[in-house]
């Protein structure tokens, strides 16, 4: 599979010359298979640029939403395949106790927040509520599981035909239920089994260790937590992302280098930058 980062920023789009290295668009990752399957992870503002790479011959696209916080759906209305009558867009995401996925999405995709209503779109929209165990999407096997973050939130584990595994956990605070972290086996740690043995793990790294102490329970991880989570789950390659909008390129370069030097992980770490591509 080929994995491309289209949005690496957390919480809020962060344009600006001092942010351009890591990127200012919010969460969006494209996964493409050898047989042409197109999966889009989250619909942050990065999805607009991703959509421009979808070929006219594509008839099905699957958008997997981890949750419905604004930074993960803000680009959805600007996803070009929604306006093509020859495309089936499958949107996967969590319902809440009170509302279906459709009702939750329509809160954004309807006036006054957005001029076009979900039911007016010319494409064929199919909605699927998660988590729902193991699902096959084209050539990929997709697993979803609820993880520790405010409101219903899932992570995704995607396996291709050759057994390569990508795990996507953009908003995740595994340390909340296991303090000090890590203090529990992976089976008892949020996201632990989902990420087990990943060839590529794309994971929340919003805060520094110092910033985390003022944000316990906000649903995000410190850089140190992510590096320890990678060790706990036997990850082969970690991509920290969902960068805080207050962290400039200069600061991120320093914070990443310090955290990696401190934790000394025995696996590969590549700080996530918009435009990066990984071939598994
Ligand atoms: Zn987020
Ligand atoms: Zn969130």
Residue that the structure tokens 């619909």 belong to: 43
Q: Please say if the pLDDT value at position 51 is more than 90.
A: yes
Q: What is the pLDDT of residue 88?
A: 98
Q: Which residues surround ligand 1, an ion (CB under 5 A)?
A: 10, 71, 171
Percent of the chain with pLDDT over 70: 100
DSSP 8-state assignment for residue 171: S
Compute the distance from residue 262 Cα to the ligand 1 centre, in Å.
26
DSSP 8-state assignment for residue 8: -
Compute the distance from residue 99 Cα to the ligand 2 centre, in Å.
18
What span, in angstroms and rounded, lies between the C-alpha atoms of 83 and 236? 39
Residue 58, burial from CB neighbour count under 10 angstroms (0-12, 13-18, 19+): middle
Q: What is the pLDDT of residues 218-239, one digit of tens each?
A: 999 999 999 999 999 999 999 9
Evaluate whether 24 touches 44 at the Cβ level (below 8 Å): no
* Ligand positioned closest to the Cα atom of 151: 2
CA 203 vs. chain centroid, Å, equals 8
Compute the distance from residue 181 Cα to the ligand 1 centre, in Å.
21
Compute the distance from residue 170 Cα to the ligand 2 centre, in Å.
8
Residue 260 banded pLDDT, cuts 50, 70, 90? very high
* Ligand positioned closest to the Cα atom of 12: 1
């Amino acid at each position: 599979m080929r994995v491309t980062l289209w949005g690496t920023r957390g919480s809020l789009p962060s344009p600006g010359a001092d942010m351009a290295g890591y990127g200012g668009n919010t969460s969006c990752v494209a996964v493409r298979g050898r047989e042409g399957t197109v999966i889009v992870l989250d619909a942050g503002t990065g999805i607009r640029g991703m959509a421009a790479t979808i070929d006219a011959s594509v008839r099905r696209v699957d958008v997997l939403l981890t949750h419905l916080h604004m930074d993960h759906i803000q680009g959805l209305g600007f996803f070009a395949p929604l306006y093509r009558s020859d495309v089936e867009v499958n949107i996967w995401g969590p319902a809440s106790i009170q509302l279906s996925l459709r009702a939750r999405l329509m809160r954004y995709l309807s006036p006054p927040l957005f001029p076009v209503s979900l039911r007016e779109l010319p494409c064929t929209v199919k909605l699927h509520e998660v988590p729902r165990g193991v699902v096959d999407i084209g050539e990929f096997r997709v697993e979803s599981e609820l993880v520790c973050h405010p409101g219903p939130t899932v992570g995704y584990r995607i396996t291709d035909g050759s057994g390569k595994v990508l795990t996507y956990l953009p908003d995740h605070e595994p340390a909340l239920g296991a303090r000090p972290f890590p203090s529990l086996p992976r089976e008892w740690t949020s996201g632990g089994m989902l990420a087990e043995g990943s060839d590529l793990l794309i994971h929340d790294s919003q805060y520094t260790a110092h910033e985390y102490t003022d944000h316990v329970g906000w649903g995000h991880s410190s850089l140190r937590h992510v590096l320890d989570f990678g060790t706990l789950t036997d990850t082969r390659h970690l991509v920290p992302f969902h960068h805080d909008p207050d962290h400039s390129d200069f600061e991120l370069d320093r914070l990443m280098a310090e955290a990696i030097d401190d934790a000394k992980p025995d696996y590969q770490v590549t700080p996530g930058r918009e435009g990066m591509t990984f071939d598994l």
